[in-house]
Amino acid sequence: MRVGAESAVRPVAELLVENASRYGGKLAFADDRRSVNWAELELRTRRLAGALGVTRGARVAFCLDNSVELVEGLLATSRAAAVGVPLSPRGTHAELAALLADCDPDVLVVDRRQLARIASVVGERSPRLVVTGEGPVPEGVAHFDDLVADGRSPGPRDDLALDEPAWLLYTSGTSGTPRAAVASQRSALWSPVACYVPRLGLSADDRLLWPLPLAHTYAHSLCVLGTTVAGGSARITAVREPAALVRLIEEFAPTVLGGVPLTYQQLLDSGLGEVSSLRVCVTAGAPSAPELRERVEERFGAPLLDGYGSTETCGKIAMESPAGPRVPGSSGAVLPGMEVRLVEPGTGAEVVGAEGEIWVRGPGVMLGYRDGAGVDGDGWYRTGDLGRLGEHGYLTVTGRANDRIVRGGENVDPVEVEQVLRGLPGVLDAAVVARPHPLLGEVPVAFVVPEERALDTGALLRACAEVLSAHKVPEDVLFTPAIPRTAAGKPRRAVLREGLAARQAEEALAGLAARTPAERRAALTELVCAETAAIGGASVVNGGVGGRASVTVAVAEVAVGGGLAAVDSPAALHEPARGRARSGGQDAAVRGAYMGRERSVGHAAAVHDEAPVTDAAAIDPHTAFADLGLTSMGAMTLWHRLGLRTGLRLPATL
């Protein structure tokens, strides 16, 4: 098919009828309990669409774990000209209550084992309840299989237009409240027809193994709709244990494996060897590290491909191809039909050949948010992510313009977590930032201002786990005298992130005390060189090299104390011919590279209490931190130490 032609995307009903005719007895979807072939799937979705008895545009929510029933339901709602709403059953009571209040479903489909819990969440709302699974069904509640078995119901509408609302896909927004992206059949099916079939080569011969939650857009796009477009077969599972996944791989012999970086790391750790059936592995949620990609491809014998997308784009914006070429660090080429422009955050001015905020428009973009626009008048969706465009349309995502945290593919809104923390006993204030993680990409870490110094970290985390999904619970809690805030009262997250990096450097340097001088020099050299990339020729900005402020303070503290007295500077290590003048037993190249001037080094060391102050009057109390050689992170470190040592709660405007 010609991507971009009007016939490229076809309605779900048309695809199901065609697959039933072409592949009737072939496996369509299987879960941990049952399976369905393409002929059965077409019949069951047709009957279910009629038996739901909903009006056009009605919302049908599914609070189900990975199952064939969830796939059938999401496809049947489009045949009923209704709107399917997949919800994760693993959310907390509060999270589910908020989502159900937002989407206000006309029909709610749940597992029978979850019925009592869901009934308490629904509250005064009265959607029609439908249950799946075995066991008795309460009066007034319908069973999913009974609806499917009832051949007396009227047939499906099968007239949902390609650009009418078809699904509501939830994502975490920056406001702290999840938002529903409204997807049409055209937008949701664009990734399958423009990417999965032509770029991944997904076909009727493929067998996809899917261990990730189907309530997520990645799964809805590739597993549910991708398999339907290609006419292939998919094995979905709700199990998360690596050993169980290994058994499924051996039994199902997949040609395509879906996952996130953690999935593949766990499979490597399990000892799984070459999988002869595999032709491609796909990942999302967080970029795969080069080392992980190399190990996966060497061990399993199939390429590991990255892609970039979002809930608001109903699937992919860019993706790699197994046929290549592959550009290290990039997410692959932008999909046909999708336009990407890079703009300067805050101004909207387009940038060329440099980093900018990623804006995207095209047939794969959502219709908008259910509670607001989300897409401007020209069709552009602003992702909030930063990136660069290379040759041939290859897109490299470099960071985010907003503060959303992506933990192993799961979105975490720091505002939501902060609201929970501030509501806990003993907590005066809180702020949440991201900390890099080798497998998950990043994890949330909380800075907490306690009412009392004896506040228990474990108790805080347990309290968070009662109202937040597991991926939203902070990985760690760090106590601080105050949260730095702007004049408008917003947390200064950049300062907190720098403070977090400073603490990590501090912890690394603390271990040097118990070592011999030679060991300290070797360890410190390793730390500095690891933290500093291509230092030779780097410019010094605010006392830092390459933007790594944590190195500034770490080296300033140790250099003045003599820790680097016998160590060549990293700059000299990278460029042996560079002059290395010594002054006063210190390496002037180190001081010059990291702090800019000798006076700043001395003052910074003094205020950090790492060197004695010979003349207290030498430092004017009104001196700006910048004039003392301190970056914003350095000021935060000083702030933290003063609070701990004096017991005083310093003002946020320090």
User: Of the given ranges (37-51, 220-234, 333-347), which has the lowest mean pLDDT?
Assistant: 333-347
Which parts of 136-253 are beta strand (E)?
Answer: 142-143, 165-171, 179-184, 207-210, 233-236
Query: Quick count: other Cβ atoms within 10 Å of Cβ 584?
Result: 8
> By the 8 A CB rule, do 311 and 217 touch?
yes
Band (476; pLDDT cuts 50, 70, 90): very high
Say which DSSP state 185 is in. H
- Mean pLDDT across 298-325: 95
pLDDT tops 70 at residue 140: yes
**Helical spans, DSSP H, in 80-202:** 93-103, 115-122, 144-149, 185-191
The pLDDT value given to residue 345: 84
**Rounded Cα gap, residues 177 and 211, in angstroms:** 27
Tell me, which fold does domain 312-402 have in CATH? Luciferase; domain 3 (2.30.38)
> By the 8 A CB rule, do 433 and 447 touch?
yes
Domain boundaries in the chain?
Answer: 312-402, 405-479, 495-646
User: Of the given ranges (63-72, 198-207, 361-370, 642-651), which has the lowest mean pLDDT?
Assistant: 642-651
Which tokens is 369 given? 């948010």
User: Of the given ranges (156-170, 209-223, 384-398, 617-631), which has the lowest mean pLDDT?
Assistant: 617-631
More confident site: 431 or 439: 431
- Mean pLDDT across 124-141: 90
Q: What are the residues whose beta carbons fall under 8 Å from the beta carbon of 318, sequence distance 6 or more?
A: 307, 308, 309, 330, 331, 332, 333, 334, 335, 338, 340, 393, 394, 395
H/E stretch holding 584: none
pLDDT tops 50 at residue 613: no
CA 166 to chain centre: 25
More confident site: 590 or 85: 85
Question: Which burial class, exposed, middle or buried, applies to 3 when counting CB atoms under 10 A from its CB (0-12, 13-18, 19+)?
Answer: middle
pLDDT tops 60 at residue 654: no
Band (216; pLDDT cuts 50, 70, 90): very high
Say which DSSP state 571 is in. H
DSSP 3-state of 620: coil
405-479 has the same fold as 312-402: no
R_g of the chain computed on alpha carbons: 28
pLDDT tops 90 at residue 350: yes
- Give me the residues paired with residue 358 across strands: 342
Band (240; pLDDT cuts 50, 70, 90): confident
DSSP string, 310-360: EGGGTEEEEE--TTS---TT---EEPTT-EEEEE-TTT--B-SSS-EEEEE
What is the overall mean pLDDT for the chain? 80
More confident site: 512 or 331: 331
- Mean pLDDT across 473-478: 95
The pLDDT value given to residue 373: 87
H/E stretch holding 390: none
More confident site: 385 or 367: 367
pLDDT tops 60 at residue 301: yes
Question: Which burial class, exposed, middle or buried, applies to 533 when counting CB atoms under 10 A from its CB (0-12, 13-18, 19+)?
Answer: exposed
DSSP 3-state of 83: strand
The pLDDT value given to residue 513: 59
> By the 8 A CB rule, do 235 and 30 touch?
yes
The pLDDT value given to residue 160: 98
More confident site: 537 or 195: 195
Query: Quick count: other Cβ atoms within 10 Å of Cβ 92?
Result: 16
Closest to 132 measured CA to CA, from 273, 50, 23, 31? 31
pLDDT by residue (tens digit) across 556-606? 344 334 333 333 333 322 333 333 232 333 333 333 333 333 333 343 444
Task: Among 3.30.479.30, 3.40.50.300, 3.30.300.30, 3.30.160.620, name the CATH number for the domain at 405-479.
Answer: 3.30.300.30
pLDDT by residue (tens digit) across 498-527? 888 777 666 666 665 556 666 655 655 554
DSSP 3-state of 184: strand
Distances (CA, A) of 416 to 169, 213, 385, 474: 19, 22, 20, 12
The CA angle 114-117-122, to the nearest 5 degrees, is 115
pLDDT tops 60 at residue 493: yes
Which tokens is 56 given? 């056009």
> By the 8 A CB rule, do 404 and 384 touch?
yes
More confident site: 321 or 645: 321
- Give me the residues paired with residue 583 across strands: 586
Question: Which burial class, exposed, middle or buried, applies to 324 when counting CB atoms under 10 A from its CB (0-12, 13-18, 19+)?
Answer: exposed
**Rounded Cα gap, residues 634 and 607, in angstroms:** 10
Residue with tokens 């930032």: 433
DSSP 3-state of 559: helix
**Helical spans, DSSP H, in 561-626:** 570-574, 588-595, 598-607
Band (533; pLDDT cuts 50, 70, 90): very low
- Cα-based torsion angle of the residue sequence 319, 324, 327, 328 in order, rounded to the nearest 10 degrees: 90
% of the chain surpassing 70 pLDDT: 74
The pLDDT value given to residue 259: 94
The pLDDT value given to residue 489: 61
The residue type at 501: A
- Mean pLDDT across 447-453: 85
- Mean pLDDT across 184-196: 98
More confident site: 433 or 123: 433
- Mean pLDDT across 205-234: 97
Which tokens is 25 given? 């007895």
pLDDT tops 60 at residue 454: yes
Query: Quick count: other Cβ atoms within 10 Å of Cβ 35?
Result: 14
**Rounded Cα gap, residues 510 and 557, in angstroms:** 11
Strands 128-132 and 142-143: parallel
More confident site: 113 or 184: 184
- Mean pLDDT across 141-158: 92
More confident site: 262 or 201: 201
- Mean pLDDT across 160-178: 81
- Mean pLDDT across 312-337: 93
The pLDDT value given to residue 299: 96
The pLDDT value given to residue 554: 42
Strands 315-319 and 307-310: antiparallel
Which tokens is 164 given? 């009418």
State which of 118-132, 377-391, 551-565 shows the largest mean pLDDT: 377-391
Tell me the pTM.
Answer: 0.70
The pLDDT value given to residue 589: 35
The pLDDT value given to residue 376: 95
- Mean pLDDT across 197-223: 96
User: Of the given ranges (43-47, 242-246, 572-576), which has the lowest mean pLDDT?
Assistant: 572-576
Q: What are the residues whose beta carbons fall under 8 Å from the beta carbon of 301, sequence distance 6 or more?
A: 274, 275, 276, 278
H/E stretch holding 273: none
The pLDDT value given to residue 558: 42
pLDDT tops 90 at residue 197: yes
Band (152; pLDDT cuts 50, 70, 90): confident
Query: Quick count: other Cβ atoms within 10 Å of Cβ 615?
Result: 7
